[in-house]
Amino acid sequence: MYHPFIASTTRNEANLLRFTPPGFPCSIDVPFPGRLLPVCETCKKNYKTREHCRNRECHTGLPWSKCFVCVSLDPSCTKENNTLVSGPFISRLLPPQPLCFTGEVNPETTLCGMCKDKNYTRAHCRMNKKHRQLPWNTVFIALSYDPNIQLQEYEDGIASNRKKHSRKKRKVTSTDGVKDEQNEDVVGQLPMEEVKACTSEAMKKSQEYLPSPSLPEPSTFVVTSNFDMIPRSRTFLCIASQTSISVEVC
């Protein structure tokens, strides 16, 4: 059996995916094993590596390609009427589970772990052998509700982390050769005409080197779900990417 689990870095938001599954009141943070989470859309367009995107910059956005997350709900996540609590939710990694699809399997679905070990093709796995196991790169997590954490405090923590990682600085070399770090607000000290000229020149250069966007616009983002209520197994598979998020019962 293929085991993709590799020791990940110790940074808080490294190899972390943040998204909102269909029907959830708030977003969840999914920790991924090292070198298993694809890069985000922006880093894909700029040819950035996974190390740069997920470990160094700690990007938590949806990946450019499909990733599979198998979610198991703890009893603390639901109320007496079998509905979700308001959150926030805490996730922890689980070892691979022998779960299968309950409905029809799309032939384009990633091959299972056994066929991955034997270097078989996706067509051989899903069409010839009709394997129903979950994809080899599925991440298994368990969600639990922590009543000690308020939802507003959780959202404020996410906003502060985004602000901390999005702050940019640039180095300016003085006449004596000493490099000083200045914030981006130094642009406000320049005349408006120089700022517009520099901006237009930078945009022309970026269009020469950046690839043409091949992904759909954000307006075409699709969120689908195959169940209205929590399934009896309390386990479901989230298929998330930059263009869509879907849910299938396991």
Higher pLDDT, 219 or 120: 120
55 and 92 inside one domain:
no
Residues 208 and 247 in one domain: yes
- pLDDT at residue 160, rounded to an integer: 53
Strand partners, 28: 19
> Which helix (H) or strand (E) element contains residue 247?
strand 244-249
- pLDDT per residue over 17-53, tens digit each? 999 988 888 899 999 998 889 999 999 999 999 999 9
pLDDT in tens, 52-108: 999 999 999 999 999 999 999 999 888 888 888 887 899 999 999 999 998 889 899
Asked if 95 and 148 sit in the same domain, the reply is: yes
Last residue of a domain, one of 48, 64, 80: 64
Q: What is the total count of domains within the chain?
A: 2
Measured distance between the N- and C-terminal CA atoms of the chain, rounded to whole angstroms: 19
Domain termination residue (choose one: 18, 44, 64): 64
The dihedral of CA 110, 89, 97, 99: what is its sign?
negative
Report CA-CA distances (Å) from 210 to 40, 42, 196, 213, 219: 15, 10, 21, 9, 22
Same domain, 229 and 138: yes
Q: Within this chain, do residues 39 and 88 fall inside the same structural domain, yes or no?
A: no
Q: Do both 39 and 80 map to the same domain?
A: no
Q: Within this chain, do residues 92 and 56 fall inside the same structural domain, yes or no?
A: no
Given 16, 44, 64, the domain boundary residue is 64
Q: Is the peptide bond before 22 cis (omega within 30 degrees of 0)?
A: no
Do residue 58 and residue 143 come from a single domain?
Answer: no
Range(s) of the domain holding residue 39: 32-64
Answer yes or no: do 147 and 58 share one domain: no
Give one DSSP letter per residue of 73-133, joined into a string. E-GGGB-TTS-B-S--EEEEEE-----B-SSPPPTTSPPBHHHHHTT--HHIIIIIS---B
Q: Are residues 38 and 86 in the same domain?
A: no
| pLDDT tens-place string over residues 119-170 | 999 999 999 999 999 999 999 999 998 777 655 554 555 555 555 555 444 4
Half-sphere exposure of 198 (CA within 13 A, CB side): 8
Measured CA distances, 196 to 169, 171, 187, 206, 235 (Å): 20, 21, 11, 15, 53
